[in-house]
Amino acid sequence: MAEINRHYLKLKSSYLFSEIARRVREFSTEHPDAKIIRLGIGDVTRPLAPAVVEAMHAAVDEMARPETFRGYGPEAGYSFLTEKIAAHDYAARGVHIDPDEIIVSDGSKCDCGNIQEIFDTDSVVALMDPVYPAYVDGNVMAGRTGEAGADGRYEGFVYLPCTAENNFTPQLPTQHVDLIYLCYPNNPTGAVMSKTELKKWVDYARANEAVILYDAAYEAYIRDPEVPRSIYEIEGAREVAIEFRSFSKTAGFTGTRCAFTVVPKDAMGRGPDGTRVSLHSLWFRRQSTKFNGTSYIIQRGAEAIYTEAGRAQISEAIDYYMENARIIREGLAQAGLTVYGGVHAPYIWVKTPSGLTSWEFFDRLLHDVNVVGTPGSGFGPSGEGYFRLTAFGSREQTEAAVERIRTGLKL
Ligand SMILES: *Cc1c(COP(=O)(O)O)cnc(C)c1O
């Protein structure tokens, strides 16, 4: 037998969602008439925009004719897409990103998880706590940590607690770190970071030769033009930041799959002898070796979100979710709960009342009002005492859930 990668044995089982499913199943068996509403999902529910569907249909037809058939595409994505991204997502906000600096993929989860491969295994990684699990597991698999402790934290990571006390904005690390994962607007807390705060991180990275891995999957949910949508809105970020963006939450591509990663040509790492190496060339090499690209049809669909009709249609879906977010936020506040997020993000982060733990509050919501959410402790120890609700449900279900919480939850 071949010996396996022992680091995989350190991975914690994905206990969170299986435990939620188990508790809901048990409750349903005992209360078969209860109409359960799920506001725990982190997946979109609105269908693809008509402009996207139309573009995909047209691309399928092109594939059917010898004159317009396409085989393997360009490794970093078609220029019809990268040029639109550069123009609409960056130039329109005063940020220069060259289309060549954009590498199209089939998801930010994979890009966030895989990017660590281009860095040394001894790199010290800093993570927000609570955190999106893909950043964690990719680095555990690569052997950058020891075992997980009883509190769920892996030895070797530098955790950056994000709680109401620091406005869900972490403090700069007090020790040297090489890689810093930041996610804004944040999943699960729904928090955003101001330009002033983000600049502190860019300055830290420049002073300490660190690289920021910036997950902007929810940038389309930002309502305030003063809140940065891209880390490249901060001066100096081109040299120290890689940015991840996805069509998943922006345009409902969670099932269709399309995303991109920006690696500016100015971003450098250090070779063993101290020579400067372009991070862009390494990521390009990694992707062209291990990833076959996003299909032509899907890239045409993604391109269509930048048409006038496409833009109007996707913002309609985002408005729909953000109205749900408002209903949840205001309804829960009326019910006497303390709520965070939900203003520039589809996540509402609720402080559990009366000193309840995240799981105790989960059980109370399930039993008292038949509403399912996600215990904050499942995202990391600093999520204990919080609870995540999402705005991705239908309007009807969202309103019904909030009404039940307002009238039926005994605090
Ligand atoms: C949903 C999500 C993504 C996007 O993942 P895809 O693989 O592109 O669907 C990235 N980061 C966070 C934090 C997310 O919640």
Residues 317 and 186 in one domain: no
Cα 293 from Cα 72, distance rounded (Å): 8
Mean pLDDT of the chain: 97
pLDDT in tens, 282-298: 999 999 999 999 999 99
Identify whether 153 is part of a domain. Answer: yes
- Residue 13 DSSP one-character state: P
Please state, in angstroms and rounded to a whole number, the distance separating the CA atoms of residues 191 and 199.
Answer: 16
Helix (H, G, I), strand (E, B) or coil at 349: strand
The confidence score (pLDDT) of residue 23 equals 96
Query: Based on the domain organization, do 257 and 121 belong to the same domain?
Result: yes
Q: Is the pLDDT of residue 14 over 80?
A: no
Q: pLDDT digits over 235-266, tens only? A: 999 999 999 999 999 999 999 999 999 999 99
* Residue 140 beta carbon below 6 angstroms from any ligand 1 atom: no
Position 42 scores a pLDDT of 87
Q: How far is CA 115 from CA 144, 180, 243, 279, in A?
A: 13, 12, 11, 10
In a domain, 12, yes or no: yes
- Percent of the chain's residues with pLDDT above 70: 100
Would residue 382 count as lying in a domain? yes
Give the pair of three-digit tokens for residue 246.
């996805």
Q: In the chain, how many domains are there? A: 2
What was the pLDDT predicted at 109?
A: 96
User: Do both 63 and 39 map to the same domain?
Assistant: no
Q: Residue 302, Cβ neighbours under 10 Å: how many?
A: 30
Beta-carbon count within 10 A of 76 CB: 24
Asked if residue 302 has its Cβ within 6 Å of ligand 1, the reply is no
Q: Yes or no: say if 214 and 267 are a contact pair by the CB < 8 Å rule.
A: no
Kindly report, residue by residue over 141-200, the tens digit of the pLDDT.
999 999 999 888 999 999 999 999 999 999 999 999 999 999 999 999 999 999 999 999
pLDDT value at position 336? Answer: 95
User: Is residue 1, in this structure, part of any structural domain at all?
Assistant: no
Q: How far is the CA of 85 from the centre of ligand 1 (A)?
A: 18
DSSP 226-251: TS-SSGGGSTTGGGTEEEEEEHHHHH
What integer pLDDT is reported at residue 244 of this predicted model?
Answer: 98
- Report residue 15 as tokens: 């206990």
Structure tokens at 394: 């239908």
**Residues 207 and 230 grouped into a single domain:** yes
The pLDDT tens digits of the residues spanning 40-51 come to 988 999 999 999
pLDDT at res. 152: 86
Of 244, 230, 250, which is closest to residue 306 (Cα–Cα)? 250
CATH of the domain at 360: 3.90.1150.10
Per-residue confidence (pLDDT) for residue 12, from 0 to 100: 87
Q: Which of 262, 288, 307 is the endpoint of a domain?
A: 307
Mind listing the pLDDT tens digit for each residue in 310-325?
A: 999 999 999 999 999 9
Our answer on whether the CB atom of 388 is closer than 6 Å to any ligand 1 atom is no
What was the pLDDT predicted at 402? 98
Q: Cα torsion for 15, 18, 19, 25, to the nearest 10°?
A: -170
Q: Which domain holds residue 275?
A: 52-307
Q: Using 50, 70 and 90 to split pLDDT, how confident is the model at 79?
A: very high
Q: Residue 131 C-alpha to ligand 1 middle, in angstroms?
A: 12
The helix or strand, by DSSP H or E, that contains position 87, with its residue range, turns out to be none
107 lines ligand 1 (CB under 6 A): yes
88/188 same-domain check: yes
CA–CA separation, 283 and 289 (whole Å): 10
- What are 365-402's pLDDT values in tens digits? 999 999 999 999 999 999 999 999 999 999 999 999 99
Same domain, 148 and 236: yes
Answer whether residue 13 shows pLDDT above 80. Answer: no
Domain stops at, among 248, 283, 307? 307
Does 300 map to a domain? Answer: yes
Q: Best mutation site among 242, 246, 318, 321 for ligand 1, i.e. most ligand atoms within 8 A of its Cβ?
A: 246
> pLDDT digit string (tens) for 214-241?
999 999 999 999 999 999 999 999 999 9
Question: CB–CB of 343/329 below 8 Å?
Answer: yes
Predicted TM-score (pTM) of this structure: 0.97
**CA-to-CA distance for 145 and 58, rounded, in angstroms?**
48
Contact 345, 191 (CB under 8 A): yes
* 108 Cα: distance to centroid of ligand 1 (angstroms): 5
Cα-based angle 292, 293, 296 (whole degrees, multiple of 5): 125
Ligand 1 close to Cβ of residue 111 (< 6 A): no
CATH number of the domain where residue 78 is located: 3.40.640.10
Q: Tell me the DSSP string of 123-184.
A: --EEEEES--HHHHHHHHHTT----B-TTSPBTT-EEEE--GGGTT-PPPPSS--SEEEEES
